[in-house]
Amino acid sequence: MSEARWLLIGSDLRIEECARMFKEKGLDVTVHLKDEVTDELTNKIATIHPTHIVLPIQGVKGMLDSKLFSKGTVFFTGIIPGIQKMALKSEGHFVSSYLSDERFVWNNALLTAEGFVKEFYLETNTPIASTHFQIAGFGRVGRMLAHVLSASGAKLTVFARSEAQLGEAEALGFEVKNLSPDVEFKPGFLINTIPSQWLAIQPEDTLRVFDLASKPGCLKPGMSSAYYTLHLGLPGKHFPQRAASYLADTILRMCRGKE
């Protein structure tokens, strides 16, 4: 890895911090602080001939030309379209997702939960203690949300389709309800952690929805609400140094696994 030429791509603040950490370790690093494929990015690739590329969690807008890279280039990705992944692999490149690393995903989930708390305070001026939150989904982010919010005295109801998730949430002392197609939420706050477009909401609904899942969010196509907000990249937004350290450690650990 001593001769590796790194290119880190993305506007998330953790990307810039991760580049700084790599440079401190003596790595050859170039950074592109944008989330889209541009002529500027193409020129950087042609100039530095990167051997290792880090893409942002939410991916980049546009398609990277897989023929621009030397055969055997290593890509570390977040969310990546299947067609982009196939194009890279077909040219002999290696594609690994840091989102498959359990340690990274759990640490990122905890920072997401803490980032939500900051967003909630800023947007509502409401204390968490004794406030009722409805959480949709009880995966990693849902579990960390429940942990952080309950520790601050919140009242929680967990909605999920999975019996395993419902059972775990109930065993941990939370009220649980099945997330059925005709589910009705109480007035107040709903936090979505499910990465699919499942929620039908009417313009007159005043349910405050905080969506922490990836694009395009949880609203069904054509739905909108003045009380809905999509919150992406909370770890990088609120805790860039800690988030970057998790990303840098994970990528370097993945590199060692390839050696």
Q: Cα separation of 161 and 136, whole Å?
A: 9
Entry pTM? 0.93
Write out the H or E segment, with its range, that includes residue 220.
Answer: none
CATH topology identical between 5-100 and 104-236 = yes
The fraction of the chain above a pLDDT of 90, given in percent, is 94
Write out the H or E segment, with its range, that includes residue 184.
Answer: none
Q: Cα separation of 135 and 259, whole Å?
A: 41
pLDDT, position 2: 55
Q: Percent helix, strand, coil in the chain (nearest 5)?
A: 40, 20, 40
Which tokens hold the place of 246? Answer: 């998790």
pLDDT digits (tens, 9 = 90+) for 153-175: 999 999 999 999 999 999 999 99
pLDDT, position 202: 84
Task: Quote the distance between the C-alpha of residue 57 and its chain's center.
Answer: 6
Q: What residue type is assigned to position 230 of the chain? A: L
What residues does each domain of the chain span?
5-100, 104-236
Q: Cα separation of 94 and 145, whole Å?
A: 34
pLDDT, position 3: 85
80 or 256: which carries more pLDDT confidence?
Answer: 80
End-to-end CA distance of the chain: 8
Mean pLDDT, the chain, integer: 95
Which tokens hold the place of 17? Answer: 């911090």
User: Mean pLDDT throughout 117-131?
Assistant: 97
pLDDT, position 204: 84
- Within 10 angstroms of residue 162's Cβ, the number of other Cβ atoms is 14
- CATH number for domain 5-100, candidates 3.40.50.2300, 3.30.420.40, 3.40.50.300, 3.90.1150.150: 3.40.50.2300
- Within 10 angstroms of residue 41's Cβ, the number of other Cβ atoms is 18
Q: Cα separation of 234 and 200, whole Å?
A: 25
pLDDT, position 203: 82
Write out the H or E segment, with its range, that includes residue 228.
Answer: strand 228-230
pLDDT, position 76: 98
Q: Which CATH class is domain 104-236?
A: alpha beta
- Within 10 angstroms of residue 125's Cβ, the number of other Cβ atoms is 7
Q: What residue type is assigned to position 126 of the chain? A: T
Which tokens hold the place of 255? Answer: 């590199």
pLDDT digits (tens, 9 = 90+) for 3-31: 899 999 999 999 999 999 999 999 999 99
Which tokens hold the place of 160? Answer: 């999920």
